[in-house]
Amino acid sequence: MRMIVALSKDIAPREKEAVFSYLADNGFSVREQNVGGDVLLVASGGAGGAVSGGGIPAVSERELSLLPGVARVAQTSKPYQLAARETKGSDTIVSVNTGTGSVVQIGGARICVIAGPCAVESKEQIAETAACVRESGAVILRGGAYKPRTSPYAFQGLGMKGLEYMKAAGEAQGMPIVTEVVSPELVDGMKDLTDIFQIGARNMQNFELLKRAGSLGKPVLLKRGASATIEEWLLAAEYLLAAGSKDVMLCERGIRTFETYTRNTLDISAIPVLKGLSHLPVIVDPSHAVGIRDMVPRAALAAIAAGADGLTVEVHPKPEKALSDGPQSLYPEQFERLMRDIEALAPVVGKELLRLPRKESGEPKKNAADANWAQAFSLVTEKIAFCGESGAYAEQALDRAFGENAPRLALPSFPAVFDAVLDGSAVCGIVPVENSLTGTIHENYDLFTRYPDVAITGELKLRIVHCLIAADGASLDTIRTVRSHSQGFAQCKEFLDKHPQWRFETWNNTAAAVHSIAGDGQTPDITVAAIASEAAAKVYGLKALKSGIEKNPQNYTRFVIIARRNVSLPAAAFLRENSAGEQPNKASLVFSIKDEAGSLYPCLQILNKYGISMTKLESRPILGQPWSYMFYVDITVEESGKLETALAELKNQTENMLFLGVYRAAV
């Protein structure tokens, strides 16, 4: 048994010395390690005092956790200590600079797609491939400069010259690059030309290479050996982490089995297994796994559905002429379709497809204004406001949009979010406006009329999976009271109807309901439960008695990003575009009309005149004006010029009109 001690980021030198002394006095040998930004002490051994079955003093974990400067203590019996899930309280997110002012983050709430040819064949080939995969949505360029091949007569790559071609292609597209390093002797020569080292399947247990590559501290993509067990794979990752690399990604690329219909057998089950065992991001290579071009997209989507953090896909402009792995390389148009399918699947698994900043005139813009939400705000320090507490669905949407490291401001109500955006306490906010099961969240639509200086700048859809959450020891039989937001009760009505003995208490948000039963140091009440997300249960140390209790699995909430109309920040231009870097295709407005027969018809005629389609039309009573109504309208945008002309005419036809914003529609 070993102990992992995570130190507080603000630990004082004397406190750190006291922790070392405590461990040494109790017979532990200690190694300090930095993993994903956390300073960890890996303690092995233990002697003296009362001992547990693992040979470690029974009091050490409790006493150690109380020492000043100790953030967390965990025990692990696994041979891979630094890669183990117990080592970190959260998933590792690997950050890679693009060289254009933005950052690619691998892991967490985003799906990262790496794409490019198997091998760099020429300057023109890698440049053409880089341009097409970036256009389709890939964020990292892959390609082999050195190719370890089974046959000594097969194409071995262009070596360092090929890597120079690839680096130039990546820079031209604003993409970081990943390439395979095949021997320790090549590491130093390649380190300044590549952003991510790839350790191939054949070298997974080349321990000298692992130690040398890991010592540089660069991100490493570690492929699984063709016959390697998961434990052997994680031990290889341990070599990298122990050598000094804090950014390690695991790549499943298929294993060798008795099956011969595909090149390898894609071990889909390894993805959830790794997610349980380790905190490291998991990437899947469907190209090498199946080896057959037409099967690659389906295997790729299966990997995303199983929980992969990203994909690495082989793409070639002319696969039939490729010098390496042509039969498994996608045509550019196949890759484009795959990216659209991934974008459609992402919300189902609670993730967002990561995109790079927009690129115009053949040059990547070096301004965060053109980045996606997460990238745009990686360069600013202002907070993003949301309603709720840690673990709230709105916070999950915030993570999807801006990244897990984005600064945030938790507020008690929706009006407070609008207030924070208006007074500058937050650079923008995120609020729900519609649910697929229960309809419009009218409170937030109405707030736009009260805050005319706040506009919609983006949207996303989040799949809502409700859980019945309670303390350890609770069961369906012990529950007497259930707490949640009114929307949570409405969306879980069929489940709740089966328990008529339960009493319901409405709270401002679902996460607050969970927090209320956590006890805050007191023993939680096993007669009280809450309806919220599994993430909220983890935040407050509770458990999900039952998951998926919403009445329909097609339960999505549409969130909108709001900002001041005169917002001034590096991401301001982006707030008028979208996360995919494409032009806006949706707009929202609200207007009132005269209280007379047929007054709505001319308004609709104007939209029809300019070929503008409505996707939503809903009336709301005007406060203080009985039997008078405002109309909320969502419309599609194809040509900005037509939209401006139509809005000008519509303004003359209506009593009052407020344009809520133009943005990109969520998938």
**Residues marked as catalytic:** 557, 559
Neighbours of 541 (CB within 10 A): 11
Alpha-carbon torsion angle 218, 116, 346, 353, nearest 10: 60
Length of the chain: 667
* Rounded CA separation 255/234 (Å): 15
Alpha-carbon distance of 563 to 377, in angstroms, equals 13
Q: How far apart are the first and last CA of the chain?
A: 47
> What H or E segment, with its residue span, contains residue 484?
strand 481-484
Q: Are strands 384-387 and 408-411 parallel, antiparallel or unpaired?
A: parallel
| Cβ atoms 339, 136 nearer than 8 A | yes
Question: What count of Cα atoms within 13 Å lies in the side-chain half-sphere of residue 165?
Answer: 24
**Helical H runs in 266-372?**
270-277, 286-290, 296-305, 332-345
Instruction: Classify residue 636 by burial, with Cβ atoms within 10 Å: 0-12, 13-18, 19+.
Output: middle
* Residue that is written with structure tokens 């295997």 in the block: 299
Question: DSSP string of 206-224?
Answer: -HHHHHHHHHTT--EEEEP
In Å, what is the CA distance from 244 to each residue of 39, 45, 211, 314, 383? 12, 22, 8, 30, 32
Q: How far apart (Å, rounded) are the C-alpha atoms in residues 534 and 619?
A: 35
Which residues lie closer than 8 Å to 257 by C-beta, 6 or more apart?
A: 264, 265
Determine contact, residues 290/263, Cβ cutoff 8 Å: yes
